[in-house]
Amino acid sequence: MVAELNDARAESDGTVRLRRSHVCLIDALLETDRARLVRRGLRGAAARAAQFVELKPARAPKAFVGTLRPYQSEGLAWLEFLGRVGFGGCLADDMGLGKTIQVLALLLARKKGARRGQSRNPSLIVVPRSLVHNWIDEARRFAPSLRLLSHVGQ
């Protein structure tokens, strides 16, 4: 059902333009129990996101070996904020600006949170094969307390 809504168009004023033929699909979606849960979850996430005032640079966890540059502290703060409101996100900037260590700092912060009763779920990092060894080297250098499992190949 949702796949049929792929041709919906976002307008510049923030509205979404749908075809008249989508009315029945949307009605069916909104009647499902899952849709109610999704709407409730979206309202909660929207309410948490609406509380956003400003991001203050985050401090790297004590287990982090090294120093984050100011823009890396801001990136860490952004990723932590997205996690708090239940959104996903990504870091996308120029090569060599330290995205790896920002993510390692985030993983250490999540590990620390898991000790305080927050989610204990593992994290999955998917990188090109050519970067796997770089990630492992940087994790050993900047976040030696993280447990790693590298899976390369079949």
Count of CB atoms situated within 10 Å of the CB of 143 = 24
* DSSP 8-state class, residue 96: T
Q: What pTM, to 2 d.p., does this model score?
A: 0.66
**How many Cα atoms within 13 Å fall on the side-chain side of residue 143?**
23
Higher pLDDT, 85 or 142: 142
Residue 136 · residue 143 · CB < 8 Å: no
- Condensed to tens digits (0 to 9), the pLDDT of residues 114-154 reads 666 666 778 888 888 898 999 999 999 999 999 999 988 87
H or E stretch including 129? helix 129-142
